[in-house]
């Protein structure tokens, strides 16, 4: 759930930054989106490891 929040927050920052011309806010948004994607991948890897070690 936390990864979805990061992605949504990042998207909002990216759009807000692009709309206002604030490059820093837009970059923070991209970073938050990437953080959400990484968390999602790690979550999937964790589930895969648990499943394959049983």
What is the pLDDT tens value at each position of the chain, 54 positions in all? 788 999 999 999 999 999 999 999 999 999 999 999 999 999 999 988 888 887
Residue corresponding to tokens 């890897």:
45
Helix or strand (DSSP H, E) at 52? helix 23-52
Q: Is the CB of residue 14 less than 8 Å from the CB of residue 30?
A: yes
Domain total of the chain: 1
**What is the model's pLDDT at position 13?**
97
**What is the model's pLDDT at position 28?**
97
**What is the model's pLDDT at position 54?**
73
Q: Give which of 10, 6, 1 is closest to 36, Cα–Cα.
A: 6
Q: Give which of 45, 42, 40, 38 is closest to 53, Cα–Cα.
A: 45
Q: What are the backbone angles phi and psi of residue 19, rounded to the nearest 5°?
A: -70, -40
Owning domain of residue 24: 2-52
**What is the model's pLDDT at position 53?**
83
């Amino acid at each position: 759930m936390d990864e979805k929040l990061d992605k949504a927050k990042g998207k909002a920052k990216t759009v807000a930054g692009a709309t206002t011309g604030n490059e820093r806010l837009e970059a923070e948004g991209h970073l938050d989106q990437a953080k959400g994607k990484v968390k999602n991948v790690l979550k999937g890897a964790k589930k895969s490891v648990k499943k394959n070690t049983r």
